[in-house]
Amino acid sequence: MSQKINGVDLNGLNQILNEISKEKDKAKELSLWRVRLRWLGGFKTRAYMRRHSIDIDEPADLAGIDTAQNAVETLLASLGACIATTFILFATSKGIKIENLELAIEGQLDNVLVFLGLEKEGNPGFKSIEILAYIRTEAEQKVIEDLFIEAMKSSPVFNTLTRGAQINHKIKIF
């Protein structure tokens, strides 16, 4: 049995990283992500990806039936999870043991009234997002702070949100 840090098999991880860095096809495959969503009535949708599915709905005060978190909450959670994933990945690669990790994410929309069709000023997206990270470890404060910032800057979702992606859209009517 090889060495495990943070529940991750270090040899296995290095092998995966080695393969991805050598095989262009593998990196390309891991660069493309797909989901399909089906509307289930009201504001409820189900997203399907690979062998998983998740539900997204709206809370009752936004006319949903609150069977699941909504789209903007899903987005905040994905940002937190992405930074947490990158942090565990980098800590493990450096042999740093993490005992506990929790992130609280708070997002402020610029102007939700644009989404409701009541105003045209500003934008209905998130203007700013705050992340509070609670980390339990024996490692030094400075090491962990630097590692967290490095992880954040290498996180796919963080980069998507801070840079802006090009979104193309099409519609087919039946």
Partner 1 sequence: MGKVINGLDVESLKSLIEEAKKNQEFVQKINKWYARVRWAGSGFTFNSYVRNHSFTISEPSELGGPDKGPNAVEYVISALGACYSTGFILNATKRGISIKNLEVAIEGEIDNILVFLGLSNEGHPGYRKIIAKAYVEADCDEKLVKEIWEETVRTSPVGNTLARNVEIVPQISLIK
Single residue of 1, 3, 63, 121 touching partner 1 by CB under 8 A: 63
CB of 56 to partner 1, least distance (A): 4
Single residue of 1, 3, 25, 33 touching partner 1 by CB under 8 A: 33
Region 139-158 residues binding partner 1, contact defined as CB under 8 A:
141, 144-145, 148-149, 152, 154-158
Q: Which residue, among 147, 157, 137, has the nearest Cα to 80 in the 3D structure?
A: 157
Extract the tokens encoding 146: 């630097």
Region 100-119 residues binding partner 1, contact defined as CB under 8 A:
100-118
Residue pointed to by tokens 């490692």: 139
**Residue 2 near partner 1 by CB under 8 A:** no
**Residue 31 near partner 1 by CB under 8 A:** yes
CA distance 29 to 20: 10
Number of residues that this document lists for the chain: 174
Extract the tokens encoding 50: 């690979």
CB of 40 to partner 1, least distance (A): 8
CA distance 45 to 70: 10
- Radius of gyration for the chain, computed over Cα atoms and rounded to the nearest angstrom: 19
- Report helix angle 156-163 to 71-93, nearest 10: 130
**Residue 25 near partner 1 by CB under 8 A:** no
Single residue of 2, 23, 26, 97 touching partner 1 by CB under 8 A: 26
CB of 111 to partner 1, least distance (A): 8
**Residue 91 near partner 1 by CB under 8 A:** no
